Amino acid sequence: MTSGHPRAPRRALLPAVVALLGALLLVLPLWSTPGAAAASAACVADASTGCIGGTIRSAAGQPAAGVVLKVEGQGQSVEARTDDTGRWSAAVTAAGEYTVTLDEGTLPAGETLRDPGANPRTVTVELGGTTGALFPLGAPVAGGAGGAPTSEAPTTDDGGAAVPPDGQGGDEADVAPESAAAGSGGAGGRFVQLVASGLIFGLLLALASVGLSLLYGTTGLSNFAHGEQVTLGALLAYFFVQVQGLPLPVAGALAVLGGLLSGYLQDRGIWGPLRRKGIGLVQQIIVTIGLSLSLQYTFNLLAGGGSLRIVTSSPGIVQIGPVRLTEQSAVSVVIAVLVLAGVGYFLTGTRIGRATRAVADNAALAAASGIAVDRIVRLVWTVGAGLAALGGVLLGLYLNATRWNMGTALLLLMFAAVTLGGLGTAFGALAGSLVIGLVVELSTLLIPSDMRYAAALLILILVLLLRPQGILGRAERIG
């Protein structure tokens, strides 16, 4: 075997681990912003506490400070007041329905409720979760219908993602992703907000998808258990933050390490022996399905069937022109860009990365030229699982909720992304993920938000019919 070729997986793993953890450490100061520190004093939901809260803004979008709200129900009465950022929260200790009444006499001068008839509001609270109560400000709508629902309890899709209530206007509950703010600013403002949300979702989806694409390229295996690596990252982050009380950046780094270790152990204990025994790809795919089911129900047993929030305090808001992002999402974008750029450099600018691409192009030829194919595949399993875990952490923060089957709900989107971009190519996975992210968010302009994932799967079908090799894939001759 030629000494000039990469051989040692341990030496290959070190720069990969450093790159993933370095991205988190580079943005550590950003997670300690004043806005995040201020949020730490807000209500924190736990097994015995539920939170009701939101953010009240003027018709011009400025924070409305000093507004008094009263929460009553289940034998409890709690008063809350908005702070200088317009945020408020109230803690309750029993699940059930509560009425939230805003004292209109404490509104800033010249401000009125957009829907005076919706004050008070009724919300349903669950212990361990945060429920938004929305009070948009602005000119009253004719007929007294402000478009806001009576109950602001956030719903969840199949993946546990928080689905924002409609018609939020100038009041944000801060319990849903950026698309929650898409209803403000008119049709043009909503379109720009959805584009930004789609790009963010696409970047985070790309983190989870790159490993899936590289794994297919190097082994030909479609890993149906890859979604569980995403769930693992999110649940580990929840465990380290909510159970162990660690800071979010430290918890995120530990979750990524857990993902890296999981990928390494899987290949060493399962996939490596199967490859050496000459087990076919079809049989290996069946094993991935069985592993997926086993991990899903293990997560269900350990974490329960409800939605979990990695961070329960209300995040700060970053305004960039017409686009409003939470501070967590802004930091997540920085991390995703740095890590994806690092993956791109690794694949194009390092010898081990070029060896990985050689194995993906032709494993037999790569082996004949002296590349240790099995060790490269183990590296791909390890790094791919680590990237998926990082994607799970950031998606859990972006969607504001995670569940035991979060990765399963996202798996079809990941397959759609890697197929659209071109199977086996990391850059194709990035391009496909961005397209899928935009389609998922922009489709809500035409169809209900509960059906937004269906639009992405329709794109997958059309791609397979019209361009099976994907955006960046190469057409291959068959026969």
Splitting the chain (479 residues) into consecutive groups of 10 residues, what average pLDDT does each group show?
45 54 49 39 72 86 87 88 87 89 87 85 85 83 44 37 35 41 55 89 92 90 93 95 91 95 94 91 94 94 86 77 83 93 91 89 87 91 94 90 88 89 82 89 79 79 79 57
Return the closest-CA partner of residue 414 out of 198, 213, 170, 166: 213
d(CA 127, CA 131): 10
Chain region(s) in the chain for CATH 1.10.3470? 9-30+195-466
Return the closest-CA partner of residue 162 out of 152, 148, 170: 152
46-153: CATH number: 2.60.40.10
d(CA 180, CA 339): 27
Whole-model pTM? 0.66
**pLDDT of res. 58:** 83
Chain region(s) in the chain for CATH 2.60.40.10? 46-153
Residue 279: exposure state from Cβ atoms within 10 A (0-12, 13-18, ≥19): middle
CB of 352 within 8 A of CB of 359?
A: no
Return the closest-CA partner of residue 82 out of 13, 151, 192, 171: 171
93-128 tens-digit pLDDT: 888 899 999 988 888 888 888 888 888 889 998 887
**pLDDT of res. 141:** 57
43-88 tens-digit pLDDT: 777 767 888 988 888 877 788 888 999 999 988 888 898 988 888 8
Q: Packing angle between helix 426-442 and helix 452-466, nearest 10 degrees? A: 130
d(CA 225, CA 293): 8
Return the biggest CA–CA distance within the chain. 81
Residue for token digits 């043009």?
A: 188
Which one-letter amino acid corresponds to residue 334? Answer: V
Residue for token digits 């099976």?
A: 468
d(CA 350, CA 277): 31
DSSP 3-state assignment of 273? helix
For 284-313, b/e burial (b = at least 16 CB within 10 A) is beebbeebbeebbeebeeebeeebbbbbbb
Q: CATH class for domain 9-30+195-466?
A: mainly alpha
Sign of CA dihedral 60, 65, 67, 72: positive
